[in-house]
């Protein structure tokens, strides 16, 4: 299993997606999902690791007009450290569990870990920090509110 994560330059989590494969279709699905968030401004640069599927997926999204032509792709091994450092928090929680056996279970556990991490980083976008606001944020994150 592979965990795709999008983090902005300030370290705020934009989106995450768990996939069984690390191919062009999975990368394309993740980029489409991450760019669809209304609270996220359109990036000018996307920094990723050296996976050869990323340029292909981004080129296809640009051809389909789902991604702006002005977005630049930067494939530099060490410039994605913000994502890697943020990813460390999830690894710390999963390692004692000795990994995750099924994709369904993994998606649910990682979604919960990501939600708690976003709350800890203060990403609930609420003026007032309260349990009720955090509950609403979690319901919104998991699609429990229509």
- On whether residue 105 sits in a domain, the answer given is yes
E strands along 8-131, which residues? 13-19, 45-48, 72-75
Residue 146 lies in a domain: no
What is the spatial distance between Cα 112 and Cα 125, in angstroms, rounded to a whole number?
A: 18
Residue 88 resides in a domain: yes
Q: Is the separation of the CB atoms in 77 and 49 below 8 Å? A: yes
Q: Is 5 helix (H, G, I), strand (E, B) or coil?
A: strand
Residue 34 pLDDT exceeds 80: yes
Is residue 133 in a domain? Answer: yes
pLDDT tens string 89-131: 777 777 777 767 777 878 778 778 877 777 777 776 555 566 6
pLDDT the model gives residue 129: 62
Q: State the CATH number of the domain containing residue 45.
A: 3.30.420.10
Domain count, the chain: 1
Query: Is 68 inside a domain boundary?
Result: yes
Which residue, 29, 24, 116, 144, is CA-closest to 6? 29
Would you say residue 16 lies in a domain?
yes
Domain that holds residue 129: 2-141
Question: Residue for token digits 């606001």?
Answer: 133
Selection from 12, 95, 2, 108 nearest residue 49 by Cα: 2
C-beta of residue 3 within 8 angstroms of C-beta of residue 87? yes
Query: For residues 43 and 56, what is the distance between their CA atoms, to the nearest angstrom?
Result: 18
pTM summary value: 0.66
Q: What is the pLDDT of residues 60-98, one digit of tens each?
A: 999 998 888 888 998 877 766 767 677 677 777 777 777
Is 58 within the bounds of a domain?
yes
């Amino acid at each position: 299993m592979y965990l795709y994560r999008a983090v902005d330059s300030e370290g705020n989590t934009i989106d995450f997606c768990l996939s069984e494969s690390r191919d062009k279709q999975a990368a394309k699905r993740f980029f489409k999902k991450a760019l669809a968030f209304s609270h996220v401004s359109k990036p000018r640069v996307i920094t990723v690791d050296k996976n050869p599927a990323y340029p292909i997926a981004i080129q296809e999204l640009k051809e389909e007009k789902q991604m702006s032509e002005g977005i630049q792709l930067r494939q530099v091994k060490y410039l994605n450290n913000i994502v890697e450092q943020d990813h460390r928090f999830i690894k710390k929680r999963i390692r004692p569990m000795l990994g995750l056996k099924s994709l369904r279970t993994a998606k649910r556990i990682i979604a919960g870990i990501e939600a708690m991490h976003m709350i800890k980083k203060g990403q609930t976008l609420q003026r007032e920090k309260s349990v009720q606001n955090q509950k609403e944020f979690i319901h919104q994150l998991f699609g429990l509110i229509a």
